[in-house]
């Protein structure tokens, strides 16, 4: 009798500590599966007093004005081209959502920002996020009050882009630093330092003609393709307010 009792108390399930550990583990697995929604919502509430104030509006309006001028020029060119070729992507603009950046990871491996608008405000996964200057990234995950945006500089980011001067499509990949690389799959592609890069009309992820960046340098070592470093127009490390585009790409 005594022996049976001793064995039964030495089993793992008879220890309270192990059960607590097991429950904590199950809870954390749930947190992992739900992609940290609970944690992000918790962070939303505790970071609320530190959100950017309205005094930044003026600076942002100035940047938006500059961005609008570039966009207008691009749209004019695009319009002329579209009148000639009628089989291009169309985008339908609806209303946009303004959101504040409440968390920012712009260094190291994880390049993402968290915004103070979530599924409650109508933010959907895949929505395009722009800031003063141009394209920032895509919404990759939403919780009730927040949404996480994967930045163009993230190693996970691959975006179809368009060289405005020569009208060539290329692929822009994030490398985990401030300057993503643009790959043009042709060794004869005409590209120069200072060329303007925008989102491609052929892209299925982003609406066309959103300003992205400027060619900063060109790597000439590759034989079969051309690789260039892009300096982004929108700087996620300093932007506090962004726009989430509710755009349907057809």
Partner 1 sequence: MNKFFTKKFSIIIFIFVPIMFLWHPNWLGFVGFQPYWPLFWLLPWSMINGSINGLILGLFLGLILDSLTLDNNFTQIPGLMLCGFWFGRIKLHSDFLVGHFRYGFICALGSFLCGTLYFSQILFKNFSDSTFLLFIPSIQNILAEVFLTGFFAPLICSQLFRIFKFSGRN
Should residue 150 be labelled a site residue for partner 1 when binding is judged by CB under 8 A?
A: yes
Q: Which stretch binds partner 1 (CB under 8 A): 25-33, 88-96, 128-136, 195-203?
A: 25-33
Q: Between 31 and 50, how does the x/- string for binding to partner 1 read (CB under 8 A)?
A: xx-xxx--xx--x--xx---
| Nearest-angstrom CA–CA distance, 195 and 214 | 6
Should residue 160 be labelled a site residue for partner 1 when binding is judged by CB under 8 A?
A: no
Look at residue 158 and give its three-state secondary structure.
strand
DSSP 207: -
The Cβ-side half-sphere exposure at 131, using a 13 Å CA radius, reads 25
Should residue 52 be labelled a site residue for partner 1 when binding is judged by CB under 8 A?
A: no
Q: Which stretch binds partner 1 (CB under 8 A): 63-71, 105-113, 192-200, 241-249?
A: 105-113
Q: Measured from the CB atom, is 128 or 141 closer to partner 1?
A: 141
Residue from 173, 184, 210, 230 touching partner 1 (CB under 8 A): that is 173
- Within 10 angstroms of residue 212's Cβ, the number of other Cβ atoms is 28
Residue from 56, 73, 89, 103 touching partner 1 (CB under 8 A): that is 103
Cα–Cα–Cα angle for 52, 236, 44, nearest 5°? 45
Which residue reads 């199950």 in tokens?
26
Backbone phi, then psi, for 33, in 5-degree steps? -65, -40
Should residue 106 be labelled a site residue for partner 1 when binding is judged by CB under 8 A?
A: yes
Should residue 147 be labelled a site residue for partner 1 when binding is judged by CB under 8 A?
A: no
Should residue 70 be labelled a site residue for partner 1 when binding is judged by CB under 8 A?
A: no
DSSP 116: S
Binders of partner 1 among residues 114 to 133 (CB under 8 A) are 114
Is residue 207 within 8 A of residue 249, CB to CB? The reply is yes
Q: What is each CA distance from 126 to 44, 94, 142, 249, in whole angstroms?
A: 21, 15, 10, 11
Should residue 154 be labelled a site residue for partner 1 when binding is judged by CB under 8 A?
A: yes
| Nearest-angstrom CA–CA distance, 248 and 250 | 6
Should residue 96 be labelled a site residue for partner 1 when binding is judged by CB under 8 A?
A: no
| Nearest-angstrom CA–CA distance, 191 and 93 | 31
The first and second tokens of residue 179, run together, are 């300057």
Should residue 140 be labelled a site residue for partner 1 when binding is judged by CB under 8 A?
A: yes
Residue from 64, 70, 75, 175 touching partner 1 (CB under 8 A): that is 175
Q: Which stretch binds partner 1 (CB under 8 A): 53-61, 70-78, 107-115, 186-194?
A: 107-115
Q: Which residues bind partner 1 (CB under 8 A)?
A: 21, 24-25, 28-29, 31-32, 34-36, 39-40, 43, 46-47, 103-110, 112, 114, 140-141, 148, 150, 154-156, 173, 175-178, 181, 183, 227, 237
């Amino acid at each position: 009798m005594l022996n049976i009792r001793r064995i039964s108390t030495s089993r793992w399930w008879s220890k309270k500590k192990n059960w607590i550990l097991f429950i904590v583990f199950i809870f954390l697995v749930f947190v992992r599966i739900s992609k940290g929604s609970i944690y992000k919502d918790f962070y939303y509430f505790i970071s609320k007093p530190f959100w950017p104030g309205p005094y930044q509006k003026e600076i942002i309006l100035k940047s938006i004005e500059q961005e609008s001028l570039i966009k207008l020029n691009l749209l004019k060119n695009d319009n002329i081209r579209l009148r000639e070729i009628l089989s291009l992507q169309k985008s339908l603009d609806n209303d946009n959502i303004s959101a504040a950046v409440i968390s920012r990871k712009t260094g190291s491996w994880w390049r993402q920002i968290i915004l103070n608008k979530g599924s409650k405000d109508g933010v959907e996964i895949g929505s395009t996020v722009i800031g003063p200057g141009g394209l920032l990234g895509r919404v990759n995950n939403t919780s009730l009050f927040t949404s996480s945006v994967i930045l163009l500089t993230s190693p996970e980011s691959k975006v179809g882009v368009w060289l405005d001067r020569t009208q060539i499509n290329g692929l822009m990949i994030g490398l985990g630093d401030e300057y993503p690389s643009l790959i043009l799959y042709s060794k004869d592609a005409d590209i120069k330092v200072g060329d303007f890069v925008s989102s491609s009309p052929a892209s299925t992820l982003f609406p066309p003609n959103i300003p992205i960046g400027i060619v900063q340098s060109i790597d000439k070592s590759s034989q079969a393709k051309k690789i260039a470093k892009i300096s982004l127009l929108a700087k996620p490390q300093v932007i506090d307010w962004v726009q989430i585009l509710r755009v349907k790409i057809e």
